Amino acid sequence: MRNIEEVRAKLPLRYPYLMIDRVVEESPDHVVAIKNVTINEPFFQGHFPGHPIMPGVLLLEAMAQAGGVLLLHEIDEPTDKLVYFMGIDNARFRKPVLPGEQLTFELTMNAFRRNACKMTGRALVDNALVASADFMAMVVDR
């Protein structure tokens, strides 16, 4: 299990852009990460006043960050590397994500060659699918 400090050591992102709070499962081809969604998130001020929902693009970003943890798991000297996302396909949003909910991101590595990969991601709240997408990413030197 990776706590927030271990996640911060692996990913170069910081507030307000670091979108995962904890990694609860990690293997060479799969990662599970958690995001606690609170009303204090800055995006809720404008999305939408009186009816706050997490923007879909931020769900994708959080999934991509979990995918970055997965990809860096397989790389030698990950602190010297960055993950660049090259594409997102088949993105689907099934249900709004509300303040107070806990997101679980499940990312699976489909293919990994040299410095590029394809992954499939799912976002769940209470085991119900809220979003999914396929990602392409590459590893570059910092």
Q: Indicate the residue type of 80.
A: D
Residue 47 annotated among the catalytic residues of the structure: yes
Residues for the chain: how many in total? Answer: 142
| 3-state helix vs strand vs coil in the chain, percent to 5 | 25, 45, 35
Q: Among 30, 47, 51, 73, which one carries the catalytic annotation?
A: 47
At 123 the three-state DSSP class reads strand
What whole-number distance in Å separates Cα of residue 45 and Cα of residue 52?
A: 8
- Residues belonging to the active site: 47
